[in-house]
Chains A and B, each alone.
Chain A
Amino acid sequence: MAEELKVAVDRRANGAILYTKGYINNVGGEEIANRAYELMDQGLKTLLLNLRDTKIVNSIGISILIEIIEKMMEKEGIIAFCCLTPVILKTFHIMGLANYAKIFDNEESAVKELGLS
Chain B
Amino acid sequence: MTTSALIMIILTQGTVLAATIYFFRKVLKTPPKPEPDSYKDNDNAPRD
Same complex: no
